[in-house]
Chains A and B, each alone.
Chain A
Amino acid sequence: MNIEKIRKDFPILEREVHPGKKLVYLDNAATSQKPNQVIDVISEFYRNNNANIHRGVHKLSEESTEMYDDAHTKVSKFINADKMEEMIFTRNTSESINLVMHSLVDGKLKKGDEIISTVMEHHSNIVPWTILKDKGIKVNFVDINEKDGILKLEQFEELINKNTKLVTCIHGSNVLGTINPVKEIGKIAHDNDAFFLVDGAQSVPHMKVDVKKMDCDFFAFSGHKMLAPTGIGALYGKEEILENISPFMYGGDMIKEVSLEKSSWNDLPWKFEAGTSNISGGIGLGAAVDYLESVGMDDIRDHEIKLTEYALNRLEEVDGLKLFGPKDMKIRGGVVSFVLNKVHPHDVASIMDTEGVAVRSGHHCAQPLIERLGENSTTRASFYLYNTKEEVDKLIEGIEKVKKTFRL
């Protein structure tokens, strides 16, 4: 993997964010930067092909339709789904999970049913379930092992019962970096006839994902964390399940026939894509997948493992710094959260910013997890394919500057 060549594809990495301070972008878990190959495909689409899809018979409509449908095929192959019928484009991971929630609530979930989630989740995989309390649906949460930030797997077995209709968990934690054993968790769900939904927002961009191997029923992720533009996300669902659950939104393009009395639903995946879609975003997501595949997901994962190991080793040497998450790189992604003495993470991130280093501070949309860790917030550095060891060094220099500023 030629990092120098890769970095040239990302024009933003060349910019200065403060006078004399070049951008060191370590906020990839929030959103990734975009390569020319994605930016160009989107701008080329608007310059050359733009039309609405699945309706017009003119040339541009035909081209746009083909490009948008192709993107579904690319993305489904990328996560090893069997066919594009199983690949629904949404706005983002949250919308994908909301889609599953609304579709299951309409006919599959009833009062007295239970759901199992975990304390490790992003708010996007907590809130859509906890609001179902009003409908008499209970959510149980699997805890983490505080020391190494991994799920207490035995609790899935303890919490599951005949009322459990859905088991869900995050694949890669956006706070701890933990990569969860989704295949094992899915087996527990299926042995008990529950659906299994995986939040893959932090895994798909960084490692080879195989939805068939993990045998999940639904798999949700966002485009913007994997080099694609914002406003495009995806939901994989098993065909036989998608055929048997209700649509999420109603209106244009998702119907086959409409009369004033009733309507019939369009074929998959369009049954779940009501209204004019984010066509350019979808095509951009397809281009992002092309880019990631040209680099190679296994190489990207290896690169991030090396960077993360290096970062963890260097951070461990910093006095007064507390790290979270597993040490075993086999079950850890490129996310490093930490707290530094009594310095508030906002101050850490502000001072880092003056050096051009972009890190995230706060609760990372995972308030229950941050609370479980006994913190109010953390600082987080997260890596991607274009990051370098030199940038990790800049992170460490930034931390030294924080310590100096706060006279530690």
Chain B
Amino acid sequence: MYQENILEHYENPQNFGEISNPTVSVEDSNPLCGDKLGVHILIDDKEIIKDIKFHGHGCAISMAAMSMLTEKLLGKNINYIKDLSKDDILEMLGIPISMTRIKCALLSLKISKLGFIEYHKDK
């Protein structure tokens, strides 16, 4: 599970930080694990994700997944998130995830979905 790319993303998370004027700001947690992550997304008029940053703390799996997912989402249309599935995340991670750790991997997906919903809430 702890392959080089996972550890690399954990030690040097990509897009880690905050955006001062995000279009969307959401967060969620896995309280049982003590993981808590949040995402700021900047979306332009054409609904393109111009910037995305995440903050918080989590285990190697949840942090690496979030880091990789922000890389994947940057530059994409916000509606890309709508069809993102559990399998997409697992494929992105490219490692076998045990039953007990699946929640860690999918925290990133859950937060992205929350961001998508938040964006469309007032429309």
Q: Chain A residues in contact with chain B, CB under 8 A?
A: 343-347, 350-351, 361-363, 367, 370, 375-377, 405-407
**Cβ A344 vs Cβ B60 within 8 A:** yes
Chain A residues near B32 (CB-CB < 8 A) = 362-363
Tell whether B68 is near chain A: CB-to-CB under 8 Å. Answer: no
CB distance from A399 to the nearest CB of B (A): 15
Set A346, A361, A367, A406: member contacting B31, Cβ < 8 A: A367
**Cβ A344 vs Cβ B58 within 8 A:** yes
**Cβ B59 vs Cβ A346 within 8 A:** yes
CB distance from A23 to the nearest CB of B (A): 16
B84-104 contact mask (Cβ, 8 Å, vs A): 1 or 0: 000000000000001011001
CB distance from B67 to the nearest CB of A (A): 14
B37-58 contact mask (Cβ, 8 Å, vs A): 1 or 0: 0000000000000000000011
**Cβ B34 vs Cβ A363 within 8 A:** yes
Chain A residue nearest in CB terms to B104: A346
CA–CA, A406 to B11, complex, Å?
9
Number of B interface residues at 8 Å Cβ cutoff, please give it: 18
CB distance from A315 to the nearest CB of B (A): 20
Chain B residues near A362 (CB-CB < 8 A) = 32-34
Q: Chain B residues in contact with chain A, CB under 8 A?
A: 1-2, 7, 31-36, 57-61, 98, 100-101, 104
CA–CA, A345 to B30, complex, Å?
13
**Cβ A406 vs Cβ B7 within 8 A:** yes
CA–CA, A363 to B31, complex, Å?
8
**Cβ A350 vs Cβ B58 within 8 A:** no
Chain A residue nearest in CB terms to B101: A350
Set B36, B57, B59, B100: member contacting A347, Cβ < 8 A: B59
CB distance from B62 to the nearest CB of A (A): 8
**Cβ B7 vs Cβ A376 within 8 A:** no
Chain B residue nearest in CB terms to A348: B59
CA–CA, A345 to B104, complex, Å?
12
Between B34, B60, B98, B100, the greatest number of chain A beta carbons within 10 A of the residue's beta carbon is seen for: B34
**Cβ A405 vs Cβ B2 within 8 A:** yes
CA–CA, A9 to B34, complex, Å?
36
Q: Contacts A376-B57, A406-B7 hold; do A347 and B34 have CB atoms under 8 A apart?
A: no
* New contact pairs (12) apart from A344-B35, A376-B34, A376-B35, CB-CB < 8 Å: A344-B57, A346-B33, A347-B59, A347-B61, A350-B100, A361-B33, A363-B31, A363-B32, A363-B34, A377-B34, A405-B7, A407-B7
Chain B residue nearest in CB terms to A344: B59
Chain A residue nearest in CB terms to B58: A344
Q: Contacts A376-B57, A406-B7, A407-B7 hold; do A345 and B1 have CB atoms under 8 A apart?
A: no
CB distance from B106 to the nearest CB of A (A): 14
Q: Contacts A344-B58, A376-B57 hold; do A350 and B33 have CB atoms under 8 A apart?
A: no
Chain B residues near A376 (CB-CB < 8 A) = 34-36, 57
CB distance from B5 to the nearest CB of A (A): 14
Q: What are 5 A-B pairs at a CB distance below 8 A?
A: A347-B59, A363-B32, A377-B33, A406-B7, A407-B7
Chain A residue nearest in CB terms to B57: A376
CA–CA, A363 to B98, complex, Å?
20
CB distance from B51 to the nearest CB of A (A): 26
Chain A residues near B33 (CB-CB < 8 A) = 344, 346, 361-362, 377
CB distance from A322 to the nearest CB of B (A): 15
CB distance from B116 to the nearest CB of A (A): 26
CB distance from B94 to the nearest CB of A (A): 17
Chain B residues near A346 (CB-CB < 8 A) = 33, 35, 59, 61, 101, 104
